[in-house]
Chains A and B, each alone.
Chain A
Amino acid sequence: MSFEVPEDKQYLETHEWAQIDTDANTARIGISAFAQDELGDIVFVELPAVGDEIEQNTEFGVVESIKAVSDLYAPLSGTVSAVNELVFDTPELLNEEPYGDGWLLEIESIDTDETDALLEADAYEQQIE
C-alpha cells in the first residue's frame, strides 16, 4: 500500500510532519497518512496548550487508537500558538485528513536550523516503503 506524502511538508522518522512558514518562523504539525493507518481508528488526542513550549524529538502529546496508545514527538522546537481543538471532539479527523483538518498544533519562534534533522518527502517515502 502506498501513502500520500505531500512535498510541502517535512517529516520526523516517528511519522510526524511539519509544514514550515520560513517568513513567519512558524510551523504547523500533524501526523502522516502512514501513521494514522498504522494506528487504526483514532479515538483520543491529548495536546499541549497555547503558550506551552515543545522541544524537537521530545514527546508533546498522545494519540490513542482503539488498540494502542502512542506518544507524539515534536518535529521542531517552538511555542504553541494554536491548537486544533476540532480533533478533541472529532479525533477521526486524524484518520480522514491527516494533512488537512486533522492537523494538531501550530508553533512559533521555531529554529530553522532544526529542519536539518527532518526528512524531505522523498526520503520519508522511502522510509515507510
Chain B
Amino acid sequence: MELRSPPLFEVHAGADATVTAFGGWEMPVEFDSIRTEHDAVRESVGKFDVSHMGQIEVAGPDAAKLMQRLTTNDVSQLSVGTGQYAAITNDDGVMLDDTVVYRLDSDEFLFIPNAGHDEEMEARWDEFRDSFEFNCTVENTTEEWAMIAVQGPDSEALCLDAGVEVADIGRFEIDTVELEGVDCYCARTGYTGEDGFELLAPVTHAESLWKAFDCQPCGLGARDTLRLEQGFLLSGQDFDPESNPRTPYEAGIGFAVDTDTEFVGRDALAGPARDPDEKLVGFSLTERAIPRHGYEIEASDGSSLGEVTSGTQSPTLEIPIGLGYVPATHASDGTEIAVVVRGDRKAGFIRNPPFEQATTDQ
C-alpha cells in the first residue's frame, strides 16, 4: 500500500521525528519522547499534526437531512458554529467510525472521519444521498486541509499569542479565524481531555500554521497515551466493523446516540441494544505489567472475560491502564480482574474512565 504523506512531512523529517504508518498515512509518532510530549500537554501545551484525519463537506438544501440519516446524534440540535460527537453505524447498529460533525452554516456541514476512513465515508454519503434523492453535495476535502491540534491548559494563551482570536470560541464550537492572512477553521475540540483547539488550514499554508505555535511538537504516541487516560475510543482498535464489531452502547458512547432521530442503524439500537451484554470498560493493574492490545482479560476465578483493546503505562498516573470489552456483569468499578501477560496473570480491577481528571470535561 502506498502511504499518504501529510503536507508537513518534510518539516517533521527536519525535526528528526520518528514516523510510523497509521491509517494509510506516514505520520510522526514521536518528536522527543512520549513522556515529554504527554507531560507538555497535561501541564502546559503541545501541538499535533493530525492531517491524517479526514474532512468531508456536505452542502445544500438537504445537507442537514443527510447528516441526520448517517450519524447517530441529533444534528437538528446543532446551531451554526457548533459541533457534536457522533457514531456512524450500519443497519445492524455496528459502528463503522466515530466522528465530530460541525455545522458551518445552516445548510453546510463538515465532519471528520478517522484516518483512512475518508474515502469510505465519502462513498457512503454519496450512495445514501443518491438513494434518498437528497439535494446536496458531498466533497472529500481531506487532501486540501492541513489539520493541527493545539492542546493543553495553556492552549488558549498560546493561540492568542500567535494572533489567533480564539477567546470567543466555546467548547465544541467552530469559527473562521485568520492566521497570517489566510482563513482557517478553528474548533475548540480535541482528543486529549485538555482544553484545546483543532485548526484547519489550506495545505498550502500547512507549514506557517504549524510554525505559528511555539510549543512542544507531539506525535501519535503521546496522542494515544493522552486519549487513553481519558478513555476516548480509537477507531479500528477499540471498535472495528470487521475485527471487533460493536454498537455505540457497547462502546460506552450511548450519549452520542439519539434514537428519536431517524438514522441508519436506529432500529437495531432502539430497545434492548441499549442494555448490552458486553461493555467497554477501563481497568488498571495493581501488579507491574503493561496491558497490550489482544491480551486476555480474566475474572478472579480465572474464566475468560474478553480481550484488551488498548493499554499502556499511564504517563500521568504511572500505573498500567487499559480498555477492553467484558460481560456487563463484570463491568462495575472495583470488580477484580486479571490480564494475562506472556502467560502470567497480572491482577487489577475495573476502573472506568476517565482515569485522569483533566482540566476540562469532553
- Cβ contact of B34, chosen from A62, A66, A69, A88, cutoff 8 A: A66
Classify chain B: how many residues form its interface, as a range: 10 to 19
Q: Which of A80-129 contact B (CB under 8 A)?
A: 88, 95
Contact A66 B288 (CB under 8 A): no
- Cβ contact of B221, chosen from A44, A62, A66, cutoff 8 A: A66
A1 to B15, CA, bound (A): 12
Contact B313 A1 (CB under 8 A): no
- Contacts across chains A and B counted by CB atoms under 8 Å: 35
Assess whether B29 is interfacial by the CB under 8 Å rule. Answer: yes
B290 surroundings in chain A (CB, below 8 A): 43-44, 64, 69
Contact A66 B292 (CB under 8 A): no
A101 to B109, CA, bound (A): 57
- Of the listed residues A43, A66, A95, the one surrounded by the most CB atoms of chain B closer than 10 A to its CB is A66
B194 surroundings in chain A (CB, below 8 A): none
Asked if A43 meets B221 with Cβ closer than 8 Å, knowing A66-B35, A69-B292, the reply is: no
Assess whether A6 is interfacial by the CB under 8 Å rule. Answer: no
Q: Quick one: closest B residue to A88, CB to CB?
A: B288
Q: How far is the CB of A39 from chain B (nearest CB, A)?
A: 10
Contact B221 A40 (CB under 8 A): yes
A88 surroundings in chain B (CB, below 8 A): 288
A67 surroundings in chain B (CB, below 8 A): 29-30, 34, 221
Q: Quick one: closest B residue to A1, CB to CB?
A: B16
- B residues bordering A, Cβ < 8 Å? 16, 29-30, 33-35, 221, 225, 288-290, 292, 312-313, 315, 342
- A residues bordering B, Cβ < 8 Å? 1, 40-41, 43-44, 46, 62, 64-67, 69, 88, 95
Known contacts A40-B221, A67-B29; 6 further A-B pairs (Cβ under 8 A): A40-B30, A44-B313, A46-B342, A66-B315, A67-B34, A88-B288
